[in-house]
Structure 1
Amino acid sequence: MVEDQSFVSILYLSYMPLCCVVGLTGNCMVVVLIRSNRIFQKLPSSIYLLTLSLMSSVFLLSLLSFWVEEGFITGQNEQHSMFLCKSATFLAHFCDFASVWLIVLVGFERLTLLYRVSCRRSVVSAKRHVLFLLILSGLANLWIVFIAEINEFGECDINADYEGVYHSFSLLETIFCMILPSVIIIFSNLFVILKLRDHLKRIPSSPTVSFNTADTVYSTGGPQQHTIKSVKISKASLFRMGSSKENDGLSIAGRAKAANRLEVTDAANRQKLKRRNLRYTDLQLTRSLLVVTTVFIVLNLPNYVYRISIQFFVISEQINLSFAAHVLLYTHHAILFYVYIFNSPQMRKRLMPTALKLLECYCLKPRHLNDFSDNLFQ
């Protein structure tokens, strides 16, 4: 039995650096893809995703520091170990809390996009939401700094005097980091799926639709398109009537004024349609983010179920189940943005061109073209 536990521990410690390397690579990829594309930069969901990649990277780095301390650092002083214990534990809880609610914000932003297009969030408001969330995450997890310590076996653990406090905060953490976000995400995804199916029925899927689909490609294409068309026809008819001298009672100034009035009406109708309708690319992005939020629930739920079972249902601790739950949690941070990139048609199309541009900028460009390379992604 001891040999089995040691074998599982070896696999567990071997899997941790793999998750860190794979996850940090995926996080860097999504940052480069978003920052190198102007269209991505204008999306509020991109602010949430960039912050999510940062939180995931910090979580993986704290995990990597734990792995280094477990396997390579021996004989360190107690003060150094205490600092690593408190900082790594706090960062893990802080990033986990922030990541969960960032995913909720992503799902909710997609929901408001589908149901209330005229009330879309802006990039500025998304930044304010992120700032408020990070402050709240820090305050909500500050308690861990005061109760984490090094036990008599030299392991990072909870102070025995604060076991009751730890269980209380763990219950609150389970409610606010798993149960409540999962309920919000499940219902949000359900409404998104229903609305998405309705929109996709109105848009014929076409291989010619690219990431640069014009704003005039809408998800609802009935009478509103005929409105624009009728405006254009009446505008053309006005000019034809203006060229006919026997039937034209308007002066040149009157015709110009009427034409300008029609142009303003045409532009107003187009702007109104933009606000009320969705682009095909919005629907594609919504589908990919729907997969991301679903993967979050699937891979995070076992860890919280195990913690609740151990703390509140008096179930004996199972080492193998604990390792399995933590492996799924680490896997979530490792593959999250790969799931997003490879389920998003826009991201897949931008992946290879962006990689080639980066290779060309930083590896194959002569010195006198550095200025051009620096402005390439602006």
Structure 2
Amino acid sequence: MTYSTDDIDFSKISPNEFERLCFELLLKYGFSQIIWRQGGADNGRDIEGYFDFNNPIANQRTKWFFECKHYTSGGVPPEHLNSKMAWADAEQPSYLVIFVSSYITTAARTWLESIKLTKQYKIIVIEGEELKGRLVQFPDLIERFFAADRFERLFLEIKNHWLRHRIEPSYELIKEISNNIDTSKLDIDDIGFLLMSFHKNYRHFELRNDYYGDFTEEVLEPLYPRLAELASKENLDSFEEYRTDFDYLGGTGCFDDAESDESSELAFQFYDLHLNHKKSQDLWKIGYYLFIKTNDNKAFELFSMDDSDFKTSAKYYEEFSSETLKELAIDISIDFGEKILEYSPRLLKIEE
């Protein structure tokens, strides 16, 4: 998902969670042997760890102390930092870093500037706004600590459930997320996951006949404006690598119906793809291709990889016409394109 600094509200987490957040950020930065001194007496730092600077001539290990100050309002005064300096003076780390959820007061800033030159270790202060700027580089941390919207949490849960157990989300879950989530938070991989999950199950749900006409791809329409923002108008980028070396494993949609000489009321085509099928079995991959024509006469192509990121690329066609089929990445022949339009009148129909 996509986040900005506006999505980070330190007042929503406890002091203990703030320390954990700082600890997780240090892991992202590559610190080693990190100790989080949670609970018990304050030994002058909340977290300590090491960072190795390596170069072709020499390796240097540096020791770091980290202090985490969680303030929901107001600034950190100098008296709340003084004891930390005493411990650092006694143990002499290479660096003392102070994480602050808000800011330090003017008095604290002046005091720190006056003592920096007297210390053998370097003092670094990372205040709230700078800390937010660092955190947005790691969306998974924002998701874990600040995703307050229940539909965001629901989406993250079903995506993690798929990743761990390969269980597809139900139609009802996809519908609830599509109709309620803030789509500006979704990135192209998120939208690919939702659209592919829906279409992987479309025929199965349709044959079950459980929805009495309520099951429709129109539940995905709230996602299309965001998809149009993220998609390329030039090509289906990540598909280029595989377009000469894939095989169709199965499909559902209007192309399949036309190939079977069946009329179709569908305006999409979904394919399971066997990638690198001509190469060694060790290189086999699974991908998904999806073509969609919307009710307002726009169209999309998507290609997703069946991997942990559900890596997705998309191409956007601002206006669908018969010529659009000739431009698709899967290389529709002229004759087959005409047959598709003959058996799928909905593709050329613009709904009011």
- State the TM-score, normalized to the length of structure 1: 0.20
- State the TM-score, normalized to the length of structure 2: 0.22
Higher strand share: 2
Higher helix share: 1
